[in-house]
């Protein structure tokens, strides 16, 4: 199991072509089978890796903020929705609301200061528990360099499927 973020970033660069090829290979596999394997691996690595000790996603990603996130944010920040929008949010190229600062304004010492009321995008990251993983593999490959859970799941998935670079 690898948790060293520098090593993960370095391996992500080294294995970039392999990871994109494996993505193509996965798209040709039985999606239900891949979901079952990924779900099992996600449970394994999520139990071994404490996200609150890492916080790397909060330094590299800007979660989407949805309408359902505002009640918790308003409670946590003691601000109105319009105050939250003007102080912390911006529209991205798709007109979705996102936190404007990287690293996240609410990250202190690798810990989220609004953890109990963090947005749903943050709660569900790295999204490996969701069905139809083979339709979301672009994001998996992207998150491979950011999240130790994704890194370890993807690497073990290659082993479980007996993947060799020459298979594609």
Average of per-residue pLDDT across 37-44: 98
Same domain, 32 and 71: no
Residue 167 pLDDT more than 90? Answer: no
pLDDT value at residue 52: 86
Q: Which of 1, 3, 9 is nearest to 110 (CA)?
A: 3
Residue 166 pLDDT more than 80? Answer: no
Same domain, 97 and 132: no
Residue 168 pLDDT more than 90? Answer: no
pLDDT value at residue 86: 97
Same domain, 21 and 42: yes
Same domain, 80 and 96: yes
Same domain, 52 and 11: yes
The model's pTM is: 0.91
Same domain, 118 and 135: no
Residue located via tokens 């003691």? 78
What range does the domain containing 49 cover? Answer: 5-56+127-167
Same domain, 93 and 40: no
b/e sequence 92-129, b meaning 16+ C-beta within 10 Å: eeeeebbbeeebbebbeeeebebeebbbebbeebbebe
Into how many domains does the chain fold? 2
Same domain, 79 and 105: yes
pLDDT value at residue 120: 96
Same domain, 120 and 131: no
């Amino acid at each position: 199991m690898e948790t060293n973020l520098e090593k993960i970033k370095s391996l992500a660069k080294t294995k970039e072509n392999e990871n994109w090829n494996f993505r193509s290979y996965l798209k040709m596999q039985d999606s239900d089978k891949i979901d079952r394997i990924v779900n099992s691996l996600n449970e394994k690595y999520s139990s071994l890796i404490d996200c609150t000790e890492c916080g790397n996603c909060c330094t590299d990603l800007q979660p989407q903020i949805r309408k359902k996130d505002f009640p918790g944010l308003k409670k946590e920040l003691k601000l109105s929705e319009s105050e939250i929008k003007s102080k912390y949010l911006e529209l991205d190229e798709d007109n979705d609301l996102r936190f404007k600062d990287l690293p996240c304004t609410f990250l202190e010492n690798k810990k989220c200061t609004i953890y109990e009321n963090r947005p749903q995008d943050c709660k569900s990251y790295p999204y490996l528990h969701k069905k139809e993983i083979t339709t979301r593999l672009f994001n998996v490959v992207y998150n491979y360099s950011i999240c130790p859970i994704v890194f370890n799941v993807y690497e073990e998935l290659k082993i479980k499927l007996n993947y060799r670079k020459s298979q594609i």
